[in-house]
Amino acid sequence: MRIMVLGSGAREHALAWKLAQGRSVERVYAGPGNAGTAEVSENLPVVDPMRFDTVKEACREKGIDCVLVGPEAPLAAGVVDALRAEGIPAIGPDRSAARLEASKAFSKTFLVRHGIPTAEAATFTDEAGFRAHLAANRGRRLVVKKSGLAAGKGVLVSDNPAELSSFGAAILREDAVLVEECLEGWEVSVFGLSDGITHLSLPPCTDFKRARDGDQGPNTGGMGSICPVPPADAPFMARVETEIVCPVYEALSREGLAYPGVLYFGLMATASGPKVLEFNVRFGDPETQVLLPMIDADLGAIVGAMANGGLSVLASARAGRPWAGPGGALGVVIASRGYPEKSEKGVPVEPIAVTRSGEAMVFHASTSRDSGGRIVTGGGRCFTVVGIGDDLAEAGRRAYAAVPGVRFDGCWCRRDIGARFTGPVEKGRS
């Protein structure tokens, strides 16, 4: 099988890396990929994920059998519909099912309609109604969200009415706004894989969304990630499967929204049980970078089964067995100066000094090579350094030991990824 991974982030680097290891894949392409994917697959720099003609052309030219779509924007814009119309199998939802992620108003009504546990919410398209709702709920901690895609930056959790009001008013100029009750608890992400009929859940993981240590500062796309999540033990995960994952897949089938692809359940474990915060219709970034090293399986075979409706065979072969792999993986994102408020790109990266020992790995995001062959950054979240160990604490030590091996002007990272579960990491570059 010839697979193209669509996108250029660290998630796509991790996907290309994992696919390239399996026996069922003849060739892996990355469209357009980055300087990291070039080391494990063949980059197709002419591919622009938002220009479907370039994607289709690359598929024809390279005889690609299946496209695995990384980012949300092309899914929301209908890349899967465009590929299927040409007879090219694609892993991901069509435009209609992509609304589970691209419209929080849509996903909230879907959840409520099917009685799936989620935060109570009201949706507004006009400022008067929104402000009246805030006034009626003065004193409560609330969550204001942009309905559409916002790269992880469309949510404000606050008890300050003025702050909530101006955040929501800015969104209302271009989109609908959701106001939700603020759920208390701990967060966990579960990734479901489906061929449109059967589903299979991956081990629990979580990302760390805030920009600064101690979960302070603005929300980002994710500054780090861990897999597994210690409190998400087997009884908890069984409850997630029964109360959330299975009912959601059943509801998707009933509504004709089931698709071959990935569904990410962003959950809050509250005192009254797990509740859905959000859906993504794709792999998460930086969750994928820790999830894939934890899975002892041929990703190409899984992708093939998702594309061909053969996941039940794979699922029954695995039945009851956990995904055997290392004990823990911990990812630290290295970002450019000023992220998330601004982003510097084109900054030269010193030669990366992380040996491929199996203890740590570096996944690139949007890097490229300049005319002199040097790696230069692509801005925002530039790399994910992943440590792997017998447990999360060892994974964390190995990740942070490897972080100084990735250097460029203005680079920074959080120093406390996973520390809540592993204890503090040693002081170092901040």
Residues near ligand GLY, by CB under 6 A = 152, 207, 221-222, 280, 284-285, 287
Gap between the Cα atoms of 263 and 261, Å rounded: 7
Instruction: Answer whether 170's CB lies under 8 Å from 214's CB.
Output: no
Residue 106 phi, psi dihedral angles, 5° rounding: -65, -50
Show the 3-state SS of 372-418.
CCCEECCCCEEEEEEEEECCHHHHHHHHHHHHHHCCECCCECCCCCC
Structure tokens at 303: 């992708």
Q: How far is the CB of 405 from ligand AMP (least distance, A)?
A: 30
Alpha helices, DSSP H only, in 22-160? Answer: 37-40, 52-62, 72-77, 79-85, 95-102, 104-113, 127-136
Q: Does 277 bind ligand AMP (CB under 6 A)?
A: yes
* Residue 284 partner contact from ligand GLY, ligand AMP, none using kind-dependent CB cut-offs of 5 to 8 Å: ligand GLY
Nearer to ligand AMP by Cβ, of 209 and 381: the residue is 209
Residues 38 to 67: which contact ligand AMP by CB under 6 A? none
Q: How far is the CB of 207 from ligand GLY (least distance, A)?
A: 4
Nearer to ligand AMP by Cβ, of 18 and 146: the residue is 146
Q: Does 285 bind ligand AMP (CB under 6 A)?
A: no
Residues 332 to 391: which contact ligand AMP by CB under 6 A? none
Q: How far is the CB of 216 from ligand GLY (least distance, A)?
A: 18
* Residue 183 partner contact from ligand GLY, ligand AMP, none using kind-dependent CB cut-offs of 5 to 8 Å: ligand AMP
Q: How far is the CB of 263 from ligand GLY (least distance, A)?
A: 13
Q: Does 157 bind ligand AMP (CB under 6 A)?
A: yes
One residue of 9, 33, 266, 379 binding ligand AMP per CB under 6 A: 266
* Beta-bridge partners for 68: 5, 91
Q: How far is the CB of 78 from ligand AMP (least distance, A)?
A: 22
Instruction: Answer whether 277's CB lies under 8 Å from 183's CB.
Output: yes
Greatest Cα-to-Cα distance within the chain, rounded to the nearest angstrom: 61
One residue of 182, 238, 313, 353 binding ligand AMP per CB under 6 A: 182
Q: Does 180 bind ligand AMP (CB under 6 A)?
A: yes
Nearer to ligand AMP by Cβ, of 40 and 119: the residue is 119
Residues 191 to 220: which contact ligand AMP by CB under 6 A? 209, 219
Cis before 260 (ω within 30): no
For the chain, the straight-line distance linking the first and the last C-alpha, in angstroms and rounded, comes to 43
Q: How far is the CB of 324 from ligand GLY (least distance, A)?
A: 25
Instruction: Answer whether 205's CB lies under 8 Å from 289's CB.
Output: no
Nearer to ligand AMP by Cβ, of 277 and 294: the residue is 277
Show the 3-state SS of 131-159.
HHHHHHCCCCCEEEEECCCCCCCCEEEEC
Gap between the Cα atoms of 48 and 51, Å rounded: 5
Q: How far is the CB of 287 from ligand GLY (least distance, A)?
A: 6
Q: Can you give the binding site for ligand AMP, defined by CB under 6 A?
A: 119, 143, 145, 155, 157, 180, 182-183, 187, 209, 219, 266, 277-278
